[in-house]
């Protein structure tokens, strides 16, 4: 089984700051670094480190080679990543002393993904496969419709949140991932509670408080392991990639949710986005005390 992930690939430019600057303030950073990011790339890395076979669908520019090399190290299939004459997507990320972040993205190649390439890649998918998406590329609804028509599981992580983007893709989604703020925004935009939107499975993440699964008219709360946060960047992506991988691997919801929450908790104990995502063995040791 394969996870096809239509997702962004960003060069993350990360500033560690003593606090977030106020309007008009000039602030000296404590440190600066660059790494692989993008909600899409992070989720591909998470799913791959969880043990899934991952095919990434997306685009980079001439400056994207180093990011692709990092994705390759996790065994992600990049045959369907297009090389465009646009800059690779970029994120300017500030992380404060509590591990909280503030992110500004520049889409670059991420919103110029050739939709014919996505369609061609999905033509080879089967109903045992999964399509994973976030809201940092073009072509989401068309890909989701094509995947749903072929019987794939469609997992949509509604971030960065945009009500119109969710409305467009919603009819094709099997698993919808939101945080609490996004769930409230979606309910307000749609004029009804999220569990009544007709999506078979909705997962609402609640940061350190864990997550709630809403399906079949029931709500199940899952706690998150407690950790000391260093950098929360990419925690939601780690959760999404691990959850998609768990479902793809046939784990039940209980086990898949527990593993995804543990992976996300571990990711916030290290700096960086993709760089902080744990491998399956580390998650297993964390959960069970054995590799
Ligand atoms: O979710 C974290 C990610 O959001 C970062 O890696 C950044 O690139 C932005 O896409």
Edge-to-edge strand list for the sheet holding 2-6: 81-83, 53-60, 2-6, 130-133, 153-157, 175-179, 201-205, 211-215, 218-222
Mutation choice for ligand 1 from 41, 58, 237, CB with most ligand atoms inside 8 A: 237
Domain coordinates of the chain in residue numbers? 2-9+38-88+109-290
User: Which of these is catalytic: 77, 129, 237, 248?
Assistant: 237
Report, as an integer, the average pLDDT of 61-82. 98
SS3 194: helix
Mean pLDDT in the chain?
97
Sign of the alpha-carbon torsion through 69, 70, 72, 76: negative
237 is catalytic: yes
pLDDT value at 97 more than 90: yes
Mutation choice for ligand 1 from 273, 274, 275, 276, CB with most ligand atoms inside 8 A: 273
**CA diameter of the chain:** 53
Instruction: Assess whether the C-beta atom of 233 lies below 6 angstroms from ligand 1.
Output: yes
For ligand 1, the distance from its centroid to the CA atom of residue 11, given in whole angstroms, is 9
* HSE value, Cβ hemisphere, 13 Å, CA-based, for 80: 26
pLDDT value at 290 more than 70: no
Global pTM value: 0.97
| Candidates 1.10.390.10, 3.30.479.30, 3.90.1150.10, 3.40.1190.20; CATH matching 2-9+38-88+109-290 | 3.40.1190.20
pLDDT digits (tens, 9 = 90+) for 6-62: 999 999 999 999 999 999 999 999 999 999 999 999 999 999 999 999 999 999 999
Instruction: Assess whether the C-beta atom of 118 lies below 6 angstroms from ligand 1.
Output: no
What's the gap between Cα 153 and its chain centre?
A: 16
What pLDDT sits at residue 291? Answer: 44
């Amino acid at each position: 089984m394969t996870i096809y992930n239509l997702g962004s690939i960003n060069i993350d430019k990360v500033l560690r700051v003593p606090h977030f600057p106020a309007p008009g303030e000039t602030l000296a950073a404590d440190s600066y670094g660059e790494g692989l990011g993008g909600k899409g790339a992070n989720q591909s890395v998470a799913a791959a480190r969880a043990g899934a076979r991952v095919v990434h669908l997306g685009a980079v520019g001439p400056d994207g080679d180093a990011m692709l090399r990092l994705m390759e190290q996790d065994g992600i299939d990049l045959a369907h990543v297009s090389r465009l004459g646009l800059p690779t997507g970029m994120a300017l990320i500030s992380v404060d002393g509590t591990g909280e972040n503030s992110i500004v993205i520049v889409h670059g190649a991420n919103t110029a993904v050739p939709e014919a390439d996505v369609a061609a890649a999905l033509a080879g998918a089967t109903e045992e496969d999964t399509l994973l998406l976030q809201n940092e590329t073009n072509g989401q609804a068309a890909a989701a419709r094509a995947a749903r028509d072929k019987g794939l599981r469609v997992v949509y992580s509604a971030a960065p949140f945009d009500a119109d983007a969710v409305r467009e893709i919603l009819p094709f989604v099997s698993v919808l991932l939101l945080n609490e703020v996004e769930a409230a925004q979606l309910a307000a935009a749609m004029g009804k509670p999220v569990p009544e939107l007709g999506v078979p499975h909705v997962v609402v993440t609640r940061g350190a408080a864990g997550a709630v699964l809403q399906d079949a008219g029931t709500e199940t709360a899952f706690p998150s392991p407690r950790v000391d946060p260093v950098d929360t960047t990419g925690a939601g992506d780690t959760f999404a990639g691990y959850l998609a991988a768990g479902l793809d691997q046939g784990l039940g919801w209980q086990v898949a949710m527990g593993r995804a929450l543990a992976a996300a908790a571990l990711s916030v104990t290290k700096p960086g986005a993709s760089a902080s995502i744990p491998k399956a063995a580390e998650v297993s040791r964390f959960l069970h005390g054995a590799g």
